[in-house]
Structure 1
Amino acid sequence: MTVIDIVAGARPNFMKIAPIIHAMERRRNAGGPLRYRLVHTGQHYDARMSGDFFEQLGIPHPDVNLGVGSGTQAEQTAGIMVGYERLLLDAPSAACLVVGDVTSTMACAITAQKMRIPVAHVEAGIRSGDWAMPEEINRMATDAVSNWFFTTSAFANENLRRSGVAADRIFFVGNTMIDTLLANMERLRPADFWQELGLEAGHYFVLTLHRPSNVDGTDHLERLLDAIGAGTRGRPVVFPVHPRTRKSIETLVNLPATLHLVDPQPYLEFNHMVRHAMAVITDSGGITEETTVMGVPCMTLRDSTERPETVSVGTNEILGTDPAALHAALDRLFEHGWKKGGIPEMWDGRTGERIVTALEGLLA
């Protein structure tokens, strides 16, 4: 029996590991050789940010919870590394599988590699080119110590090749986030506030903001929200507020009347909102993948993206962080001038199976 660690720690991780866990369980029931140990680092420790996802996505409760909790990036990194090292000393695994680009991903990848345990990185090779993003540092550090690279796009493949990664270590498998979305599309359900806010399909916006460049400066955040309030022409704007953003929002006095602040939403409710929105305004990367597959117009308030396929193929456009850019983009949306978009290669719901097949070949 070959046991691999599957590491998760923050909200985006849970959507990415679910298809891998489900594929591994199906293969195990059919006599497959791999088993997993689910390691939750505790980087996101709030039920709204993590706990709901286990139930909604059918993920078993973790075998291990390192319980790192809150802290600075350095404190969280250190806590995760100490906890994961202790686990591996007590009970080593055959491999460590990490997903995405959060602190837990980088910390566990480095710890495993130092203990001579091979590392597989799911969503490897994506790059924004923006070193001001903590996630960009996490991606680069994780890829630097990974043995095997599971990629979502041709762009990611090329980034890895340019950095010197051999072709036989790169596995172009698709996007596990999309596996999860497609598997749950018919289970999406309205949030409790749907009726209360009078939401109608195609007649409201969804907003998410959490990047430091957008939310840490209250003057800039206020200008962004004013531009969104003005440009959305009286339509409701539903804003699930990230804990980081709430600290800045609470200092603002005059928020647009159409802006509705709500708590972070569970997976099924959040994606129901996205699916039926007129458009999404965001600074997230993962949401741009989901809007692309659902065909929902998406406006990204960043200067770069690590997911260029959502722009070249999908429904996403990069507007930058200047609030003035929103006016023209929203006018184009209301005038039915937004691009239709398509679905990137291999974003077909079968990525988890491809990953497990590759791992069986590498480890069994």
Structure 2
Amino acid sequence: MKRRIAVFTGTRAEYGLLYWLLKELKASPSVDLQLIVSGMHLSPEFGDTWKAIAQDGFDIDAKVEMLLSSDSAVGVVKSMGVGLLGFADALERLKPDCLVILGDRYEALAIAQSAMIMRIPIAHLHGGEVTEGAYDDAIRHSITKMSYLHFVATDVYRKRVIQLGESPDRVFNVGAIGLEHFNRSPVMSYEELSNSLEFELNAPFFLVTYHPVTLEGEDPAQSFTSLLAALDQFPNHQVIITYPNSDNGGRTIIPLIEAYASRYPKRVKAIASLGFRRYHSALKHALIVVGNSSSGIIEAPSMGVPSIDIGIRQRGRLAAESVLHCPAHVLAIQEAIAKASSPSFQELSRNVVNPYGDGHTVKRIVEVLTTCALQSTKPFFDA
């Protein structure tokens, strides 16, 4: 009998990371793949990215509407409540043998709670990591404690998951799943990327993604305005800016992005969602990745591209030498961009070793998912 494996996705970035895992599970003769789509995917405001999932040839087995049009912490909590209702119905109908969840988003926490109460074993990807500037940090560790199987990105993170009381024989260091793209996904040429964006790329460009910091009380608009002011100091460089995620504070950034792109139509391209192929192509051709997205830390080093991590959102995450950290202040960002643009730092970045693995992760994950015994309960492991 085929094993029913459900995979959850709530954001464009997470789907891009899961793409090759979904392909392998769909192709496996021993798996009945079930895909649950929710969160930002179903929002026109964030690009209706569920359509891209369907265009990639995946059947969506459940769409769970949960995202309220709110930019507050209360709105996020209410969205989780709506999600719990929808996830309960979806999981009851699909009855998966296992639920795969990646990362640390509040959408993921909502479905993890549902699965845990309904005694559905959870396989969690990217546990054990630390991002001190976002409530994602607490969410990630909470999902770890609700999960039975753990697929982590480094030995440091494996030790941390074990430290949380998880048995070592259920914690697998497979590397970062997003690096699978560098071995299997074709990259657009510079010209193809330019045509796809309907934007003439004719100068070195920065790839920018900035998400709100959900802890520490930082004003996302103020920090993002500092970033834009720093970018203004490099008028001979173009900028591709993607929308932030749907965390509280994210919607205050979107109008700033659109206004900036309108002010410099030949220099700046704003886009709600690049999709994973265009994103990785832009990453490959970018001079620098700028912002506070995890991709700048985890994926950019494998492309040999330097990245600038702004502020505290990713503080505590393991990073390669090609990642520069700086506070969310104009001068600091400006100095980091200048350093990352220098020939010496560009050369260092091209030869850096990425601590997140070799990109051969999916087959390791599928082997465990299809062969291991699954349980919904587990003892606490005392190291």
- Tell me if both proteins adopt one fold, taking TM over 0.5 as the criterion: yes
Q: Which residue of 2 aligns with 1:344?
A: 354
Q: Which residue of 2 aligns with 1:289?
A: 298
Distance 1:162 1:258 in 2: 51
| Residues 18, 59 of structure 1: 8 Å contact kept | no
RMSD across aligned C-alpha pairs, in angstroms? 3.0
SS of the residue corresponding to residue 165 of structure 1 reads coil
Distance 1:254 1:9 in 2: 29
Distance 1:212 1:74 in 2: 16
Q: Which residue of 2 aligns with 1:228?
A: 231
Which stretch has the larger CA shift, 178-187 or 164-173?
Answer: 178-187
SS of the residue corresponding to residue 99 of structure 2 reads strand
Distance 1:267 1:91 in 2: 27
Q: Which residue of 2 aligns with 1:240?
A: 242
- Amino acid of the structure 2 residue aligned with 1:38: L
Distance 2:243 2:283 in 1: 15
Q: 2:330 aligns with which of 320, 323, 344?
A: 323
| Residues 26, 33 of structure 2: 8 Å contact kept | no
Distance 1:88 1:195 in 2: 41
| Residues 52, 266 of structure 1: 8 Å contact kept | no
Q: Which residue of 2 aligns with 1:267?
A: 276
Distance 1:59 1:215 in 2: 40
Shift of 1:144: 1.8
Distance 1:69 1:344 in 2: 35
Q: Which residue of 2 aligns with 1:5?
A: 6
Shift of 1:64: 1.1
- Amino acid of the structure 2 residue aligned with 1:235: H
Distance 2:163 2:338 in 1: 39
Distance 1:251 1:346 in 2: 36
Matched, 1:95 2:98: yes
- Amino acid of the structure 2 residue aligned with 1:286: S
- Amino acid of the structure 2 residue aligned with 1:226: A
Matched, 1:80 2:83: yes
- For 1:196-235, list aligned pairs within 5 A: 196-200=199-203, 203-212=204-213, 216-230=219-233, 232=234, 234-235=236-237
- The number of equivalent residue pairs is 352
Report sequence identity in percent. Answer: 17
- Amino acid of the structure 2 residue aligned with 1:207: V
Distance 1:13 1:220 in 2: 24
Shift of 1:8: 0.9
Q: TM-score, normalised to structure 1's length?
A: 0.85
SS of the residue corresponding to residue 182 of structure 1 reads helix
- For 1:135-174, list aligned pairs within 5 A: 135-174=136-175
What are the superposed Cα offsets for residues 189-209 of structure 1, whole Å, 9 maximum, x if unpaired? 414476743424xx2222222
Shift of 1:98: 0.7
Distance 1:35 1:186 in 2: 30
Unaligned runs of 5+ in 2: 70-74, 245-249, 375-383
- For 1:345-364, list aligned pairs within 5 A: 347-363=357-373
| Residues 226, 255 of structure 1: 8 Å contact kept | no
Distance 2:198 2:124 in 1: 41
Unaligned runs of 5+ in 1: none
Distance 2:265 2:24 in 1: 46
Q: Which residue of 1 aligns with 2:53?
A: 54
Distance 1:19 1:35 in 2: 16
Distance 1:321 1:208, change over 3 A: same
Shift of 1:149: 0.7
Q: TM-score, normalised to structure 2's length?
A: 0.81
Q: Which residue of 1 aligns with 2:72?
A: none
What are the superposed Cα offsets for residues 77-106 of structure 1, whole Å, 9 maximum, x if unpaired? 112211111223334221111112222211
Q: 2:33 aligns with which of 36, 56, 63?
A: 36
| Residues 105, 139 of structure 2: 8 Å contact kept | yes
Distance 1:329 1:306, change over 3 A: closer
- For 1:184-203, list aligned pairs within 5 A: 184-187=185-188, 189-192=192-195, 196-200=199-203, 203=204
Q: Which residue of 2 aligns with 1:66?
A: 64
Shift of 1:109: 1.1
Q: 1:129 aligns with which of 110, 129, 132?
A: 132
SS of the residue corresponding to residue 254 of structure 2 reads helix
Shift of 1:142: 0.8
Q: Which residue of 2 aligns with 1:115?
A: 118
Shift of 1:258: 7.6
Distance 1:287 1:328, change over 3 A: closer
Distance 1:357 1:193, change over 3 A: closer
Matched, 1:311 2:324: no
